[in-house]
Amino acid sequence: MTYGTQQLLEEVSYVAYHFHWPFDQILDLEHPLRREFVQRIGAMNAAVNALTAGEADPDEAAAGTAASGGAGSWW
């Protein structure tokens, strides 16, 4: 099975946007490691959003996002 070009570009763009890493370095990551970064970024975003929204437990929001794939519904 091939990895979809669209999904690859979305993952690379997501990591590049949040971590400001160069395209080629992100592209060189093995797929599982790149997906881990996507999930962790999603968890960090969820925690920040929970704090901004005044939710009582930002860790719970971050854990829920990480378990669901991390990046939300953007792909």
Place of tokens 């996002």: 65
What kind and span of H or E run contains 5? helix 5-19
Which residues have a Cβ under 8 Å from the Cβ of 51 and sit 6 or more positions away? 58
- Total Cβ atoms within 10 A of residue 70: 21
pLDDT tens track for 6-45:
999 999 999 999 999 999 999 999 999 999 999 999 999 9
Burial class (CB in 10 A: 0-12, 13-18, 19+), 30: exposed
Position 70 confidence tier, pLDDT thresholds 50, 70, 90: very low
Residue 3, pLDDT score: 72
